[in-house]
Amino acid sequence: MPATLTSVDAEGFGRELDRIRDEVIESLGERDARYIRGLIAIQRKLELGGRALLIASWFPPAWITGTAALATAKILENMEIGHNVLHGQWDWMRDPKIHSTTWEWDTASPADQWKHSHNFVHHTWTNVLGKDRDVGYSVLRISPEQRWHPIYLAQPFYNALLALFFEYGIAIYDLELERIPSGRKDPKEALAQLRAVATKIRRQVVKDYVAFPLLAGPAFLPVLLGNLTANLARNVWAHTIIFCGHLPEGAEVFTEDRLEGETRGEWYVRQLLGSCNIDGGGLFHIMSGNLSHQIEHHLFPDLPSNRYAEIAPRIRALCERFGLPYTSGSLARQAASVWKRVLRMALPGPRQRPPATAPPVKTLGAVA
């Protein structure tokens, strides 16, 4: 625990968060249902309009507008809709069309594989080296505790490639292929999962790079390029937002000993310390999938994302009350901090931090 927080205070912090969560759950209703249904309708109209404009893309303004509309639709589908539906944020509606067990999104990762690697592994062991595979996505060194190897000298280059092809990188990453040589994963299971990924990729390739370009006739090439640009834009945007949630300055990385005897309150504290927010307005928050409220998302991953902005001031005030950091910054600042970290950790050193000794703790005021 941080030097300024006792175990008793951590449990008090957790109780306060549970109270906020319960209040939100009790207030869910038609307003929230209208939000997600309306957003899905907007996303589909943007996609339809973008593809229609691309068919007329021999006119440059139509190509630009159509590509922008399609990219926006893909970002919305991936970030604010797909990611959050698959977290079960809208399961309370009992709508079989908007449910974590039935939703399949327009990205290379099959929903069931992604839910295991993200919802379970990442959200349970957030930023814990050796447990959370999202720490560096198995290819990046982002902490001194990770042993340096000369291959990391190239990580700025392959991180840029990862940004461009993020959906495919995540799909392969979710397969956990590195566990096969040690016998921790059955090759048959990996092969079955790989087939599922290949099926999704094939459908996307046929849809975006064959079917719709062919429908455009003489505009085949502009439509193909528009679809490619939209997919690349979605990948870079998702990579940027997600990396800004856990890798900027201020985000802590933990070792496995942190998990020993971890209570619910201490789990909340670890989620807070391992997450960072991005400042912005309402439209930015929607386009980020509300992962600009990464702190609130990691505290309450199953609460509807449209409520994060509403509870964020309460979370910040609670952190101030308990003397805990609430890390937030502009997109430019957080992205620059991420790349600074990627570049620094590509080089040897710095020395691994020695195990922390137990410093005196400060008992905070009584919890109401």
Kindly report the three-state secondary structure assignment for every residue of the chain: CCCCCCHHHHHHHHHHHHHHHHHHHHHCCHHHHHHHHHHHHHHHHHHHHHHHHHHCCCCHHHHHHHHHHHHHHHHHHHHHHHHHHHCCCCHHHCCCCCCCCCCCCCCCCCHHHHHHHHHHHHHHCCCECCCCCCCHHHCCCCCCCCCCCHHHHHHHHHHHHHHHCHHHHHHHHHCCHHHCCCCCCCHHHHHHHHHHHHHHHHHHHHHHHHHHHHHCHHHHHHHHHHHHHHHHHHHHHHHHHHHHHHCCCCCCCECHHHHCCCCHHHHHHHHHHCCCEECCCHHHHHHCCCHHHHHHHHHCCCCCHHHHHHHHHHHHHHHHHHCCCCCEECHHHHHHHHHHHHHHHCCCCCCCCCCCCCCCCCCCCCCC
Q: Is a pLDDT exceeding 80 seen at residue 275?
A: yes
pLDDT in tens, 229-267: 999 999 999 999 999 999 999 999 999 998 999 999 999
Does pTM surpass 0.85? Answer: yes
Q: Is a pLDDT exceeding 50 seen at residue 356?
A: no
Q: Is a pLDDT exceeding 50 seen at residue 366?
A: no
In the chain, where the domains are located? 7-345
What's the pLDDT score for residue 351?
A: 64
Going by pLDDT thresholds of 50, 70 and 90, the confidence category of residue 130 is confident
Average pLDDT over residues 80-107: 97
What's the pLDDT score for residue 21?
A: 98
Q: Is a pLDDT exceeding 60 seen at residue 354?
A: no
What's the pLDDT score for residue 353?
A: 52
pLDDT in tens, 328-340: 999 999 999 999 9
Q: Is a pLDDT exceeding 70 seen at residue 3?
A: no
What's the pLDDT score for residue 176?
A: 84
Q: Is a pLDDT exceeding 70 seen at residue 361?
A: no
- Ranking 93-102, 129-138, 250-259 by mean pLDDT, the lowest is 129-138
Average pLDDT over residues 91-98: 97
State the Cα–Cα distance between residues 229 and 235, nearest whole angstrom: 10
Going by pLDDT thresholds of 50, 70 and 90, the confidence category of residue 358 is very low
Q: Is a pLDDT exceeding 50 seen at residue 70?
A: yes
Q: CB–CB of 54/226 below 8 Å?
A: yes
Average pLDDT over residues 72-83: 98
Cβ-in-10-Å burial (0-12, 13-18, 19+) of 123 comes to middle
What's the pLDDT score for residue 7?
A: 87
State the Cα–Cα distance between residues 64 and 87, nearest whole angstrom: 33
